[in-house]
Chains A and B, each alone.
Chain A
Amino acid sequence: MKDLGTYRPLDYFQLMEVSLRELLVEKGVVTEDAIAAAMAAMRARGPERGAAMAARAWLDPAYKARMLADGSQAAEELGFEVPGLRLIVMENTPRTHNVIVCTLCSCYPRMLLGLPPEWYKSKPYRSRVVREPRKVLAEFGLKVSPKVAIRVHDSNADMRYMVLPMRPAGTGGWSEERLAGLVTRDCLIGVAVPKIPKTPQTRKS
């Protein structure tokens, strides 16, 4: 049997994990290799993939149009495989700010961005962001002007969502890579917006 790490100390749930896994392997339902491969694939997914899409969209209006029409296809166009993902990209504008939640569980564009942060799955976020989005965003340090409409997207069924943030002013002439560096996971969820770091960048693009 493959070495999957020490089995001690196991709490109740870890004990369940080992037991379930061994039963499934013994029955030929899954293999340790397939589990390891799925883990590696999940580790490889991350917000930088969404950031790359955002930066491309900022620089290429035709790509942006395709991305807003079909997010999954736009991900694949950049070489990101997103099996089963039906991605809708919501564009922030000077008049609209978008934010993503899943009130029922924790649906998230995991096939593109990897696993969600802990707070995204927490009771306070899931409960409150649909009812008092401005207050919740303020807790994240994001003050949305009363002139800007907020749209909260509850990922409650088969679609998954990602926010396309607005390109910050003062980034004219920046390379795609440098722009992508401004787009954090929280920007793609909509609880933050891209900011140019205060310290002057030494690296010219």
Chain B
Amino acid sequence: MIERGHHDMGGLPAGKVRRTEHAYDDWELRVDAMMMLLIGVVGGNKRMTVDELRKNVEALPPADYDKMGYYDRWVISLTHTMIQRGVITTDELARKLAEVENRGQSPISSGK
């Protein structure tokens, strides 16, 4: 498990391909957009590389990796990377998470 990353799955046994399609939610597209901006593919304000995103996805515990959705992995990885890069701090994140969660009790906006 340490020798071979959990993500590195080429050739391993697995079940049938389930041909699932998925209409991306707005929040998933926002994660995607943030990634594109932060790696500087668009927007010109590069703060990280796509390899850092991958490294932090690969660092997820295997059981979580399997359970999480694709953009679940990405948002966790992006956030880790921004902490590692010093763009945000752990304490800022802790406070922001609490603030947003509390705000969630009374929505600040109603529509889409």
The answer to whether A and B belong to the same complex is yes
B17 proximity list for chain A (CB < 8 A)? 119, 122, 124-125, 128, 136, 139-140
Task: Name A's interface SS.
Answer: helix
The answer to whether A117 touches B21 (Cβ under 8 A) is yes
The answer to whether B103 touches A7 (Cβ under 8 A) is yes
Complex CA–CA separation, A43 to B23 (angstroms):
11
Complex CA–CA separation, A140 to B41 (angstroms):
33
A121 proximity list for chain B (CB < 8 A)? 70
Task: Choose, from A21-29, A62-70, A88-96, A166-174, the stretch at the interface.
Answer: A21-29
Given A6-B109, A17-B27, A30-B38, does the pair A139, B16 have CB atoms closer than 8 Å?
yes
The answer to whether A122 touches B88 (Cβ under 8 A) is no
Complex CA–CA separation, A119 to B70 (angstroms):
11
Q: Is B111 an interface residue (CB 8 A)?
A: yes
User: Per-residue 0/1 for B4-39: is the Cβ within 8 Å of any A Cβ (1 yes, 0 no)?
Assistant: 000111111111111111101011011111101110
The answer to whether B11 touches A131 (Cβ under 8 A) is yes
A9 proximity list for chain B (CB < 8 A)? 104
- Summed over the interface, the residue pairs from A and B with CB atoms below 8 Å come to a total of 181
A42 proximity list for chain B (CB < 8 A)? 29, 32-33, 36
Complex CA–CA separation, A140 to B13 (angstroms):
18
Complex CA–CA separation, A75 to B22 (angstroms):
26
Complex CA–CA separation, A123 to B57 (angstroms):
15
**On chain B, which size bracket covers the interface?**
35 or more
Q: Is A41 an interface residue (CB 8 A)?
A: yes
The answer to whether B41 touches A84 (Cβ under 8 A) is yes
Partner of B69, one of A10, A13, A18, A136: A13
The answer to whether B109 touches A24 (Cβ under 8 A) is no
**On chain A, which size bracket covers the interface?**
35 or more
Considering only residues 175-192 of chain A, those with a C-beta below 8 Å from chain B are none
The answer to whether B66 touches A6 (Cβ under 8 A) is no
- Within the complex, the shortest CB–CB distance from B91 to chain A, in Å, comes to 11
The answer to whether B93 touches A23 (Cβ under 8 A) is yes
Q: Is A153 an interface residue (CB 8 A)?
A: no
Given A106-B70, A140-B17, does the pair A39, B43 have CB atoms closer than 8 Å?
no
Complex CA–CA separation, A20 to B7 (angstroms):
25
Given A13-B71, A17-B31, A103-B10, does the pair A7, B104 have CB atoms closer than 8 Å?
yes
Q: Is A200 an interface residue (CB 8 A)?
A: no
A36 proximity list for chain B (CB < 8 A)? 33
A105 proximity list for chain B (CB < 8 A)? 7, 54, 57
The answer to whether B107 touches A24 (Cβ under 8 A) is no
B66 proximity list for chain A (CB < 8 A)? 123
User: Per-residue 0/1 for B48-81: is the Cβ within 8 Å of any A Cβ (1 yes, 0 no)?
Assistant: 0000001001000000001011111001101100
Can you offer 7 A-B residue contacts whose CB atoms are under 8 A? A7-B109, A20-B88, A35-B37, A38-B32, A38-B37, A83-B42, A124-B14
Residues on A close to B: CB < 8 A? 3-10, 13-24, 27, 29-30, 34-39, 41-43, 83-84, 101, 103-106, 111, 115, 117-119, 121-128, 130-131, 136, 139-140, 154
